[in-house]
Amino acid sequence: MKCCKRVISSKSQNILILFMLILICPAAWAAEDSADISTESAGPTSRIVGGKEAEKGAWPWMAAIVDADSTSNYDGQFCGAELIHPQWAITAAHCVDGELPQNIAVALGLHNLETDTGERVGVKRIIVHPDYNDRTDDVDIALLELDRSVEYETLSLYTGTDSLSGKTAVTIGWGSTDPVFKSYPEELRQVSVPVVSNTTCNAAFNAYASYYDDPITDNMMCAGFEEGGKDACQGDSGGPLIVAEDGQWQLAGVVSWGEGCAEPGIYGVYTRVSRFADFVAQYVPPAGDLNGNGYVGLEDVIGILRIVAEIRPRTTSATNCGDFDSDGDLTLADGIGILKLLTMP
């Protein structure tokens, strides 16, 4: 037994339930509210999961997974995802397992889900890892192939062998800021949390409930504070846990599950991305593969040189197509770099 996946169903339904609770039991509501005020500071970041509003435009690769038939990004959003290639996003398997591609969309360029239009992109294919276990949430990772390429900065994957234990990470999303009454923000939020070892995390879960027996596998990682207070929550599933490596942000984890949100003595659980580099590489074209045929060839070089000849520099990232030297632009140096690669024995 395990709880709880950090995906949400209906924000409108949660708001209706909250309204009914206020009408039915105002006295209990007032008592609960007084208890909260007495134990929590009144600052702007004093909510249960902590954190703060993200700076607008700071995370251009951040995406929302929404119901395709919902006209509102706020009402339709139920999970997060990260753009790792102009035509591919990564998310949690439990967000999309059993979904049909035509029933969901990926929304990009958003900060405020209510007021920002952003860009919705259809999903061509959903690839849930074949070893995903929906009972234990082991191997909780999936890829979304978009139905067209987009021009947003992409996020690099952390592929190192270090466990990252003790390193400060950042998790981001539009998930609940109140795990009791499911209050969902309109703006993108972020929170910094330390990565903890799997040994520490397993010990915490084993002590938390008798039905746990080392639930944290090598495919998972944990982050949070022993005293609680800062964590991902419902609606953040599929979102990122990023770390700063080599001067750039890299995706180390994908929001997966937890016991409540920001509970003391327990940690948030994430899919460990470095364990799935081969899975990603099986589907997502490498940097420089402009035509998407799975390898870097002469056509890709010609494509880069054409872009340069047309004087169309594009802001990109190290994982974006064609930026061979990872300087953020497509230039002649990228074409030369790929040519050298092709002529190597």
> What is the per-residue pLDDT across 199-258, written as a single tens digit (0 to 9) for each?
999 999 999 999 999 999 999 999 999 988 787 888 889 999 999 998 999 999 999 999
Q: Of these residues, 85, 94, 111, 129, which one is catalytic?
A: 94
Q: Is 138 annotated as catalytic?
A: no
Q: Give CATH superfamily name and number for 168-275.
A: Trypsin-like serine proteases (2.40.10.10)
Cβ(135)–Cβ(63) below 8 Å? no
Q: What is the spatial distance between Cα 53 and Cα 189, in angstroms, rounded to a whole number?
A: 4
pTM: 0.74
Domain limits, CATH 1.10.1330, in the chain: 287-343
Confidence of residue 319 (pLDDT cuts 50, 70, 90): very low
Per-residue burial over 61-84, b if 16 or more Cβ lie within 10 Å, else e, is bbbbbbbbeeeebbbbbbbbbbbb
In the predicted structure, residue 146 carries a pLDDT above the cut 70: yes
Smallest Cα–Cα separation from 169: which of 190, 194, 189? 194
Q: Which of 140, 231, 300, 334 is catalytic?
A: 140
**Residue-level pLDDT at 169:** 96
Q: Which of 156, 176, 237, 274 is catalytic?
A: 237
- DSSP H helical ranges for the chain: 11-24, 26-39, 73-76, 93-96, 198-208, 277-283, 298-309, 332-343
Strands (E), the chain: 52-53, 62-67, 77-85, 88-91, 104-108, 119-128, 142-146, 156-157, 168-173, 189-196, 220-223, 240-245, 248-257, 268-272
Q: What is the pLDDT of residue 294?
A: 63
Average pLDDT, the chain: 81
- Tens-digit pLDDT profile for residues 279-304: 999 999 986 666 767 666 777 777 76
287-343 belongs to CATH 1.10.1330: yes
Average pLDDT for 27-48: 30
Phi-psi region of 325 (alpha: psi -120 to 50; beta: other; left: phi over 0): alpha
Active site residue 38: no
In the residue annotation, 94 being an active-site residue is answered as: yes
Which phi and psi (to 5°) does residue 38 adopt?
A: -70, -20
